[in-house]
Amino acid sequence: MSKPTVFITGAAAGIGRATALRFAKEDYLVGIYDIDERKLRELRDEILAAGGNVYAGLLNVANPDLWAEALADFYRAHGRLDILINNAGVLSAGKFEEMDVAVHRRMLDINIGGVIYGTRAAFPYLRDTAGSQVVNLCSASAIYGQPELATYGATKSAVKGLTEALDLEWRKHDIRVIAMWPLFVQTGMVEGIETGSTRSLGVRLTAADVGNSIWQVTRKKTLLPTVHFEVGIQAKALAIAAKYAPDWVVRTTNRILTRTW
């Protein structure tokens, strides 16, 4: 199979859907995986109607056994895994102590557990595909811990650390591991979410903005290895401030933005 492949989780809607459409447009064979069968079918039909190549499957990323089955099936069918995009994620907002333990656990299981299980299961297929890449979806809300998004931000901070470690650990296998850092994106994930930071910063990015950025970053060959890629002006500004400003300035800025005076 000479056509490059991409395996995308959480592909039925939002960022995953936009990313799948962009890669299909660029003549990739696109593996779309999600728990929403109806929306997966609609996306598959849209890609096929546009002349693209697609392979669809159901996948609950919180289940490591299902990950192993899905990836083995995908690789068996296509013989390569050029890019794994760990996009599937959930967001719940509210006062930390008032959120049910099950809500915290769901974010942990999907946002970080799913990334660990999937990336581990994908390793032999990535290793055996020259120049392969892993793209993890982080969040600019994790640059500094956000009130009302404590556990969500913690899961994305964990993804950050995992990405950095694996980019170093897997370099010898010619596997590039990178993280995308959008702020709030106009998708179903933020519907009904209202926090101090969403009120201050708004929801300015579209799913297509992020999908296009993922496409561009996976094309980019930088002189120096780069792991983290912010999406949008707001995320870039927050990342620069967090990197160069004194800690007390960063903390004060976040208190203002999140309206926690």
CATH number at residue 46: 3.40.50.720
Residue type (1 letter), 229: F
- Residue-wise pLDDT for 153-179, tens only, equals 999 999 999 999 999 999 999 999 999
Tokens 């979410």 sit on residue: 193
- Residue-wise pLDDT for 217-259, tens only, equals 999 777 788 999 999 888 888 888 888 888 888 788 778 777 7
Q: Which residue in 33, 144, 152, 244 is the catalytic one? A: 152
Q: Is 152 annotated as catalytic?
A: yes
CA-CA distances (angstroms) from residue 40 to 3, 57, 187? 22, 8, 16
Overall pTM > 0.75:
yes
Q: What tokens does 77 get?
A: 């069918």
User: How many other CB atoms sit within 10 Å of the CB of residue 150?
Assistant: 16
Owning domain of residue 42: 5-257
Domain count for the chain, please give it: 1
